[in-house]
Structure 1
Amino acid sequence: MSKTDEFKAHLEKGYTFKGDSIILGTGIVDHEPIPQAQIKIPLKTLNRHGMIAGATGTGKTITLQVLAEQLSHHGIPSVMMDLKGDLSGLAQAGQMNPIIEKRIGLIGIDYEPTKFPVELMSISNEKGVKLKATVSEFGPVLISQILELNDTQRGVIALVFRYCDTHHLPLLDLKDLKKVLQYVINEGKQEIMKEFGAVSPATVNTIMRKIIELEQQGAENFFGELSFDVNDFVQTENGKGVISIIRLTDIQNRPKLFSTFMLSLLSEIYETFPEEGDTGKPKLCLFIDEAHLVFSNASKDLIDKIEAIVKLIRSKGVGVYFCTQTPTDVPEKVLGQLGLKIQHSLRAFTAKDRTAIKKTAENYPLTDFYKTDEILTSMGIGEALVTALNEKGIPTPLAHTLLRSPESRMNILAPEEINDLVNKSSLVRKYNVEIDRKSAFEILDEKITRAEQMAAEQAAESTTAQRRSPGRPPKETSMIEDLSKNTMVRQIGRTIFRELARGIMGSLSGKKR
């Protein structure tokens, strides 16, 4: 048996599955594609997560496009983080050309130019469905992790959330959170001390600076209402899974906002979706492009949180796929959870690069058909090393693969095409509505204003009474006595208002946390 025949038999044994599968491409040996030696991924194991890695210009984005298309064909929706603006072409059909024709002949598949159902989304000023979440939905633990707070600062955030819960103060956006923090160390200092103990102004000021830093990266566009319901990601249209493309081209230089959004999205999906069990295919797949932005700027607590969610979210029928330049961009504990690995070519310009390539090669199954570290630097565009999990959860043989071509456009949409897609979206009409209902900021502002008005009225009445008293000159008071009276009056005003507000606001309720 020739090496080619032996390799083909090896692949057929490793990539033959009983259930439905996705065809990625055809195997290559000695730099020659083997016709019809198809490399497949069973749908059953697509919730075991994965990684697409490779140097710039090796075809990672096209691989993302192919995966999303094949998932859609099987009725599986997906969510794609588009930081470079390259994925919108999924909404339009591709075109046949000689290169595609040759490639599909080698793989042994049909090719039909296809446009897929696409929803454009955004967390910034890009056109599309506006994705938002409230501060209350994040909760004190997640907010503290995002802001990278120490234990003392976390305690203050927990106090703030507790106070807002008990006093019916909705925390919707960062403006609300800052207002409550200011109230805690100023007008509400005595009230807070009575209920929870003293709070250090220095600690609150540090938290405020961290919130401002987050705001400077554009987080004010993300926090607020109407909160996005993650169940709206799980849609089909004419039997095809809807591909939700989150356009992030204007936040590449704002990694904290990106990691904040990613963590909130994963957390919300995990907490919202029910346990699925073994359904034969995933309910949803998430593709995180430029994944190094999530991990390189995240704190240890944030990475631990992501790691925990990645471990558990597959039971919800959700697969998470990281796209980055080298596997070392992903923490080892997360890397160990990834069942599918698609490795495009790497570049070796320095000694450090060569060391990284050797380390990368060690992440893949051993093979007798080629040297992995040599293949990693010699693959062409549209080629990759592939290993997945078979239906029994066992890694498939490592295969040098000629990847299939996308059926949709390998280019971005024109501005008028984007406008047309956005205008037709029912989710845009649902979520792109400005909502600024009465929340903690407005309620505390009213409370402070009323207390100050009451204090002013009390002071005016006292002055008038003194003027009307016959035969007695007004008693001189010291500055300390004046301050004491004003403080007492302000506290009386706050107490009276709190008792009134308890009845008025008792019916108010924030959105779920």
Structure 2
Amino acid sequence: MQKTLFVGGGGPDYSEPQDLLLKYGNRHGLIAGATGTGKTVTLQILAEGFSDAGVPVILSDIKGDVSGMAVAGDPAGKLHTPFTERAEKIGFVDFRYDSYPVIFWDLFGEQGHPVRTTMSEMGPLLLSRLMGLSDAQEGVLNIAFRVADEEGMPLLDMKDLQALLTWVGQNADDLSLRYGNVGASSVGAIQRSLLVLENQGGTHFFGEPALALEDLMRVTPDGRGYINILAADKLIASPRLYATFLLWLLSELFETLPEVGDVDKPKLVFFFDEAHLLFDDAPKALVDKVEQVARLIRSKGVGIYFITQNPDDVPEDILGQLGNRFQHALRAFTARDQKALRRAAETYRPNPRFDTVEAIRDVGVGEAVTSMLQNKGVPGVVERTLIRPPATQLGPCDAATRRRVIETSPVMGRYETVFDRHSAHEMLLARAEAAAKEAEEAEAREAAEEAREAQAAEKEREFKTARRYSGGESESRTSRSRKSTSSGGFGKALTDVVLKELKGTTGRRLVRGILGSLFKGR
């Protein structure tokens, strides 16, 4: 069984093998150095070594040049002679050009298989980091996630969270009594941040089918670990999304993988390029989470290797946990650079053969000052190391090769089709439709009730009117008749009878006839 990973040659003539013990491969590491000093080659040869040992690898491709690992190096290329000479110089007798098993991934689904997760899996802490929310806004987001859990509403994609926040805003008064203040301004700010995230391509990232971690931990039938390459050249334009995604991936690995204790080799190795993006302007809660993950995830058999220009980019508490170090040249042009150079040198176990500060400053391209954990986990003495040449192609592969690798991938067809199952958005929409229908029915019932009441009132008025005319007028006529008979005699009574007839239908006809004759005469 392979126990070591050959890194390069050290010593005065670079003939002393420098190996990384696989059983300490999960003790994390650092690859640092100025631009153009050889960090990508070191990343490449470490990924190749882990893959040969049957360890799956995840790495991000910031500049697009790591995709060449899917292709064997070209013996006729311009680097063939220097690499051959370097292999001979360090005694790398097994050096050969070869391609490696690669799976391409892409959050946008353009240069690899789509990568998605759900809002629930991301969680409020990382979403707050992703959107740059204030403490108050983060509190409201936590309330929204709590409500979703209690109401049994899955949060899968962006429209789920947007719909839930709308509901939270509409019910802010009730929720404030139970969970604390839910300000309309905070809800509005979160919605605006979600809109910005949506415009940056966040809709591609949130949804289903979500990434299954076992697809990142595949091994070929011949025992080599797959190298999972995340296309990040477009993603890096949204650095907050890039850093949050990688941190989410680490968190998922930490929460999902079982404890394995001490192992002969890592279960998975994770290379985090441009690591400073993870810590720039990061709140303390987030840095604490990264430190916790870095401290504990090695017990799950996962190694994390940060790649950055300067060790100062990594917080000191996390830097102290990185046992395997590959320090390429640091250029000390300013007082700050010189101070950083001295601090970097102080973290190494000194070698009596040379001054560490001078070595870090003076190593050439392809060289590094290395220190790897030895037996019992003791840091090895710092050594100037000529890094071994990579077996794979330096630089990007062409579009046709990428397409072929994607089409023959073991996960082809698993993530390409998006599906949208019943979740918070649909549930809240159904609730709104049911409430609207209930309100419409209640309004119809109320209108019908009002119509019945109006009809009953109208009948009552008609009844009272009829009773008044039938009873009251006969009594009035009897009274008037008695009065006229007693006071006016027969002439008065006759007059009353005539007037009565004139008021009736016959009288009205007579009057109309008389008036009509008068007008005709005119």
Q: Structure 1 length normalisation: TM-score?
A: 0.83
Match of 1:34 among 6, 14, 19: 14
Shift of the alpha carbon at 1:23?
1.2
In the alignment, residue 328 of structure 1 is paired with which amino acid?
A: D
In the alignment, residue 303 of structure 2 is paired with which amino acid?
A: G
Q: Deviations over 1:217-272 (max 9, x none)?
A: 32221111111111221111111111001111102121110121011101100111
Q: Cα distance 1:194–1:298, how it changes in 2: closer, same or farther (>3 A)? A: closer
Whether the aligned pair in 1 keeps the contact of 2:107 and 2:235 (CA below 8 Å) is: no
Match of 2:211 among 228, 242, 256: 228
Match of 2:56 among 77, 83, 100: 77
In the alignment, residue 296 of structure 1 is paired with which amino acid?
A: D
1:445 and 2:429 matched = yes
CA distance in 1, matches of 2:398, 2:232: 17
Shift of the alpha carbon at 1:147?
4.2
1:50 and 2:50 matched = no
Q: Secondary structure at the match of 2:262?
A: coil
Match of 2:90 among 91, 98, 107: 107
CA distance in 2, matches of 1:347, 1:192: 56
Q: Cα distance 1:114–1:261, how it changes in 2: closer, same or farther (>3 A)? A: same
Shift of the alpha carbon at 1:461?
4.3
1:355-504 correspondence to structure 2 within 5 Å: 355-467=339-451, 469-470=454-455
Q: Secondary structure at the match of 1:34?
A: coil
CA distance in 2, matches of 1:26, 1:125: 40
Match of 2:183 among 194, 197, 200: 200
In the alignment, residue 277 of structure 2 is paired with which amino acid?
A: L
1:63 and 2:42 matched = yes
Shift of the alpha carbon at 1:126?
2.9
Gaps of 5+ in 1: 1-17, 474-513
Q: Deviations over 1:254-295 (max 9, x none)?
A: 111012101110110011111111121111100011111111
1:150-165 correspondence to structure 2 within 5 Å: 152-165=136-149
Whether the aligned pair in 2 keeps the contact of 1:124 and 1:248 (CA below 8 Å) is: no
CA distance in 2, matches of 1:373, 1:151: 42
Which residue matches 2:157? 173
In the alignment, residue 345 of structure 1 is paired with which amino acid?
A: A
1:349 and 2:329 matched = no
Whether the aligned pair in 1 keeps the contact of 2:235 and 2:241 (CA below 8 Å) is: yes
Whether the aligned pair in 1 keeps the contact of 2:172 and 2:183 (CA below 8 Å) is: no
Shift of the alpha carbon at 1:304?
1.1
In the alignment, residue 88 of structure 2 is paired with which amino acid?
A: G
Identical counterparts, % of pairs: 40
Q: Secondary structure at the match of 2:104?
A: strand
CA RMSD of aligned residues (A): 2.2
Whether the aligned pair in 1 keeps the contact of 2:129 and 2:282 (CA below 8 Å) is: no
- Count how many residue pairs are aligned between Structure 1 and Structure 2: 451
Which residue matches 2:512? none
In the alignment, residue 29 of structure 2 is paired with which amino acid?
A: G
Q: Which moved more, 1:126-135 or 1:209-218?
A: 209-218
1:336 and 2:320 matched = yes
1:232-251 correspondence to structure 2 within 5 Å: 232-237=215-220, 238-251=222-235
Shift of the alpha carbon at 1:464?
4.9
In the alignment, residue 110 of structure 2 is paired with which amino acid?
A: E
Match of 1:277 among 257, 261, 265: 261
Whether the aligned pair in 2 keeps the contact of 1:256 and 1:297 (CA below 8 Å) is: no
Which residue matches 1:483? none
1:274-353 correspondence to structure 2 within 5 Å: 274-353=258-337
Shift of the alpha carbon at 1:303?
1.2
Q: Secondary structure at the match of 1:127?
A: coil
Q: Secondary structure at the match of 1:323?
A: strand
1:262 and 2:242 matched = no
Shift of the alpha carbon at 1:47?
0.5
Q: Structure 2 length normalisation: TM-score?
A: 0.82
Q: Which is greater in Rg?
A: 2
Q: Cα distance 1:264–1:127, how it changes in 2: closer, same or farther (>3 A)? A: same
Which residue matches 1:511? none
Which residue matches 1:93? 72
Q: Cα distance 1:388–1:206, how it changes in 2: closer, same or farther (>3 A)? A: same
Shift of the alpha carbon at 1:459?
2.5
Where in structure 1 do 4 or more consecutive aligned residues deviate above 6 Å?
none
> By percentage of residues, which structure has more helix?
2
In the alignment, residue 273 of structure 2 is paired with which amino acid?
A: D
Shift of the alpha carbon at 1:124?
2.1
